Structure 1
Amino acid sequence: MSRVDLNLLTALDALLSERSVTAAAQRLNLSVSAMSRTLARLRAATGDRLLLQAGRSLVLTPYGEQLRQRLGPLTLEAQALLKPPEYRFDVAALEHSFAVRAGEGFIDLVGAALIERISRAAPGVQLRFMPKPDWDAQPLRDGTIDLEIGTVRTSAPEMRTRLLFRDRYVGACRVDHPLLSNSGVSVESWIEFGHILTARPGEESNPVDLALAKCGKERRVPMVVPSFTSAMQVARRSDLLAVIPRSCVGNPFVPDHAAVNGLQWFELPVSTPRFNVSAIWHPRLDHDQAHRWLRAEIVDVCVAAYPRDPIGPKSDTQSAR
């Protein structure tokens, strides 16, 4: 395409429509001499004279006449391709399926409120939740998933994130567990019981074990499960103890989630850092209006679900690294 100058299309359209070098120059805000040079370039490019003198006016050659008939629609189409799309986003008419990767806890505790809100505004929208076995960014890159909900552990620097809420870890055990028979939970009483560890492939360290190591302590872990939901289900039916995010205990939408599942929760006897739960997506979807709308809906639902946790700034184009 090194020999092709698409600006010549506009000049050719003006010359063939006006049939005058002077009028075409005025139409494009060019000098007459500049338009004459452009006509020379067009003649060289097409191999045809295009416009010929006929007395005091110019007439089109047969090939120039053919081009005039084709050029109007072609020029308009080229201009439309090279400018931002002009359409009004109508969420009520949106027909789309969004693939969202999220943990089971988010789906259990926020999913119903989220889809109820979305269905009211856009009944043609479907949320297709996908399993979250790891933190691999490739599904976001190749479009297999549109959005991920969780902690940011990807090494892909181009990913965009938006803070949804801040979370922390708490302990969980079955109702009437002997651990809670005393007035408080100490490190010593806590590590007397077996623990359920929640870990995914690629997770090298656990904040609870790091905190215990600082105290010179170690817990016994007879079971490792892939999700916090699984840890909660095992804990409700055994004497094993679970460590889960505080968000899994309940929220205003599901206020007694732990109790309904036969669990009691308690503050951990060791200090672990809080962590961020974010929306994560690929930058190609930054300005997609449907995706922007979905992100805003998720933010609003999370603000309502976890009102005491400060939300990040309204701008949502922070890099993942």
Structure 2
Amino acid sequence: MKHLLSAGDLSRDDALRILDTADELLAVARRPIKKLPTLRGRTVVNLFFEDSTRTRISFEAAAKRLSADVINFAAKGSSVSKGESLKDTAMTLQAMGADAVVIRHHASGAPYRLAHLEWTHGAVINAGDGMHEHPTQALLDAFTMRRHLGDLQGKNITIVGDILHSRVARSNALLLDTLGARVTLVAPPTLLPVGVDTWPVETSYDLDSAVEKSDVVMMLRVQRERMNASYFPSAREYSRRYGLDQARMNRMPDGAIVMHPGPMNRGMEISADVADSVRSVIVEQVTNGVAVRMAVLYLLLGGAAEEGDA
């Protein structure tokens, strides 16, 4: 792998290699000194054209724990806000010697243009492009599931909510299918995308029946900032039919867990008592995100670093 653009690009062996590597790197977070020298002398650029807190900080922490130099580039207040194109921005970063570019962009497909048009010679990692994909989120979700459930082969994963606008849902559907899990998407008909019948998933409008057979229930944020129409009658109605509250959580099988990629709308898609319950692994997902992103950077750049040092 030279780039990580889509969860669908990963074979089962690729995915397991990343997850196994992340398992080893998670131990670094428990050390008094949380650093490895693996990527010393390498430069990682966080190129964010959309607002983000946890993803950008997670990638920054991952790169720094591997001793890479990190450049954070935010579109607001930069040359981009003055009209500079993605190509010119990328070529400027390349001139600075970027070994990896972590890109989040509001336009679906932007990471592909960056990688395949060779505007940068470094590795390109998709940190979320439009409503398309977010592969490292899917990897950290799978990593978290695996730590609680073991092998995901045959496990039932239910993803609930705003599937239409969710890049997390698409990446999870692709990766979890590769890992052998059975994925069910639950949403109002208005929040399921056109073409979802081609995805490797089942779909349902009934959350109550889905939770009873789920090993994992993953709630998605209602992305109001992407909505340009009324996709459901009211927030109260949405929460009543598609929100995860204590009563629904109690119907989940023993050992089943609750997940959310964040940030959460408490009281909308998930109640506060569920978010803070012992079944919730939402905070753990954040910790695991750093280990998984360390693994991705290590596998994309580590071999190159060792070659260069030889």
The TM-score bracket by the shorter chain reads: under 0.3
Greater helix share, structure number = 2
Larger gyration radius, structure 1 or structure 2: 1
TM-score (norm 1): 0.27
